[in-house]
A and B are shown apart, each in its own frame.
Chain A
């Protein structure tokens, strides 16, 4: 019935980013613009004086319904480097004791005249829900919703790939691990395909792949050595340890045996392969320490890039939002 494509809600009338909820539906041009903007901020953050005044006088609320250190910290730094005021709100939610409704929380914060919500939530669709119900001048950035999307993580990953590889044409990328529960993987798949890589592979046992995974635009593999053959980029995903209790995999040991990234397996990939991981990493479960700390790893660069990419998305959405406010 309502067939609003996800892109509709996050773009304004002139096609600019109003919210950043998902990579799905965004065209290559816009993704490139985000990366180009991030590139300009990357030089700012490397300087001695790291602040620019683009968001001066604006209030950014980090609204985290799920714990996170890295993502929240880099969003906070990104906002501060854009000279915004930042409010961090952590709301622990449990299904059993529901307090204030999500909509009430949003209404209360709106009443404090804030300008942007950075939202993380354990349920898929949370950022869309909030974007659909906030006042028109407020921008919503999705910092991870359930298994659905983590678009800034995907953008910092493709930004890192572009910096290392110069572009996307001809690249083969393998995403390894718990694809089923991964919002990072879903967003990366959209971004990589939109940017025109040659092939996106997903490597996992069937228990950790979603139904009809090919429909997402990927080639599935159940054998890591096969899946790594001739790839240019390996993206390892964190294995949530609680998955063992739910019969997704038998043990950490067996998982590492079949799907852990070791030096020997990495030899199947191209010699200039880069190894990525959204963190936090489980050493010895999904990745060997020698690889995580080795010369092919760009894991810490990803973290650095995270700030520039988040600055880019914040400044772009806020610009679209300010125009809406002025028009109103």
Chain B
């Protein structure tokens, strides 16, 4: 049950939205934030959370995490993946529409919302399908999806048939002020590719996905975004060049934003060497200079959100010859340590790292959350930056064990997650 009054005490509170950064108390009552940094006179807590030496920040907003339900319950469930989200400090997540059935009707949105509420550990924002059944040709009933609660629409990783469908879809979505989410990848240039086309793919003889699969898709979409005036978001970028193209358009006033999956800030094409299927990811890990460009863009805000791009798999999905394995990483539980790692190395300011996980993604979706303001829902993450830990059996909550960070030392770990003032994860 909800603890009526919670006092998170002794922690360093970092709220990028307000610029607050200081040690003090965070007071919560009836699910909302009462005060930040100070304890109002007469505030008596029913429950205290000791955050000494730890960092207290808004709960994370993850723009892309697959829960595998409905349709792929052998990979994960809303219950298992919501628990993983809570353990990762994530309090709101967007799930892409490529479920089975596809999120292209209010009924599927409702189903997801109900099951997420039952699980009760994370707010789930279903991203609606841009085309019916993600078929790439017929527009979905976008207005109905919006009424059902979708803030954004996309076609997951499925292509649209041709530029005219794209134009119509963007125009129609713009009519209802829906955000359109792109995972830019030209299907023809990707072809049967499974890794970055470069030095490593040439050596291993693995079919490559050229950087141009991403940049050509971005180049095709940008003029139509500009023409239609739609709010557009490019998710899970993999190349430095695509970041530049989007930043240039944004500087011209085009309403575009971008995110990157956290593991693209770490892994490169070299990590697939030895045919390591745990590093089979789509988009693929590219060169070191791409990784450095992505890191720089996250640091300076050209990339304003970092997501998990969580894709849990059953073990068999990765137990095959590399090109036959399924791409994707189980990554909700490594989101915070990897982001903290960049801040700890001095690659970006702590408040910027937290902003990319909170107010950054909130702004992309037009959400008021992602901040610790008096009166706002108390979605809170507390993490211990000093803890060193190793992802291991028994403590891993996602049904998917598919992470290359398995058994690797990470630093920074979530110790408490509050959702609307309710502790949903405590360790």
Cα A124 to Cα B205 with chains together (Å): 6
Given contacts A1-B271, A1-B278, A128-B275, contact A101 B319 (CB under 8 A): yes
Smallest beta-carbon distance A230→chain B, Å: 26
Cα A263 to Cα B273 with chains together (Å): 42
Smallest beta-carbon distance A227→chain B, Å: 19
Verify B321–A1 contact, CB threshold 8 A.
Answer: no
Verify B198–A1 contact, CB threshold 8 A.
Answer: no
Tell yes or no: B322 within 8 A of A by CB: yes
Chain A residues near B199 (CB-CB < 8 A): 211-212, 215
Tell yes or no: B60 within 8 A of A by CB: no
In this complex, the member of A148, A149, A183, A211 whose beta carbon has the largest number of chain B beta carbons within 10 angstroms is A211
Verify B205–A5 contact, CB threshold 8 A.
Answer: no
Verify B274–A5 contact, CB threshold 8 A.
Answer: yes
Tell yes or no: B204 within 8 A of A by CB: yes
Chain A residues near B405 (CB-CB < 8 A): 1
Cα A215 to Cα B203 with chains together (Å): 8
Q: How many B residues face the partner with a CB closer than 8 A?
A: 31
Smallest beta-carbon distance A272→chain B, Å: 32
Verify B274–A124 contact, CB threshold 8 A.
Answer: no
Cα A145 to Cα B207 with chains together (Å): 13
Tell yes or no: A103 within 8 A of B by CB: yes
Verify A211–B321 contact, CB threshold 8 A.
Answer: no
Interface of chain B residues 291 through 346 with chain A (CB within 8 A): 316, 319-324
Verify A129–B206 contact, CB threshold 8 A.
Answer: no
Chain A residues near B319 (CB-CB < 8 A): 101, 103, 133
Number of residue pairs A-B, CB distance < 8 angstroms: 96
Interface of chain B residues 189 through 246 with chain A (CB within 8 A): 197-199, 201-208, 210
Cα A149 to Cα B203 with chains together (Å): 9
Chain A residues near B208 (CB-CB < 8 A): 210-211
Cα A186 to Cα B206 with chains together (Å): 12
Smallest beta-carbon distance A28→chain B, Å: 19
Interface of chain A residues 137 through 187 with chain B (CB within 8 A): 145-149, 183, 186
Verify B324–A123 contact, CB threshold 8 A.
Answer: yes
Interface of chain A residues 1 through 49 with chain B (CB within 8 A): 1-6, 9, 24
Tell yes or no: A219 within 8 A of B by CB: no
Q: Which of B206, B207, B320 contacts A103 (CB 8 A)?
A: B320
* B235-267 vs A, Cβ < 8 Å mask (1 yes, 0 no): 000000000000000000000000000000001
Verify B267–A1 contact, CB threshold 8 A.
Answer: yes
Chain A residues near B202 (CB-CB < 8 A): 210-213, 215-216
Chain A residues near B80 (CB-CB < 8 A): none
Q: Which of B206, B267, B273 contacts A124 (CB 8 A)?
A: B206
Chain B residues near A24 (CB-CB < 8 A): 203
Tell yes or no: B279 within 8 A of A by CB: yes
Q: Which of B197, B323, B404 contacts A1 (CB 8 A)?
A: B404
Tell yes or no: B427 within 8 A of A by CB: no
Given contacts A1-B408, A123-B324, A129-B321, contact A147 B206 (CB under 8 A): yes
Tell yes or no: B351 within 8 A of A by CB: no
Chain A residues near B279 (CB-CB < 8 A): 1-2
* A246-269 vs B, Cβ < 8 Å mask (1 yes, 0 no): 000000000000000000000000
Which residues in A have some Cβ–Cβ distance to B below 8 Å?
A: 1-6, 9, 24, 101-103, 121, 123-126, 128-129, 133, 145-149, 183, 186, 210-213, 215-216
Can you give 21 contacting A-B residue pairs, CB < 8 Å? A1-B276, A1-B404, A2-B271, A3-B271, A3-B273, A3-B274, A5-B274, A6-B273, A24-B203, A124-B204, A124-B206, A125-B321, A126-B321, A145-B321, A147-B207, A148-B205, A148-B206, A149-B205, A210-B202, A210-B208, A215-B202
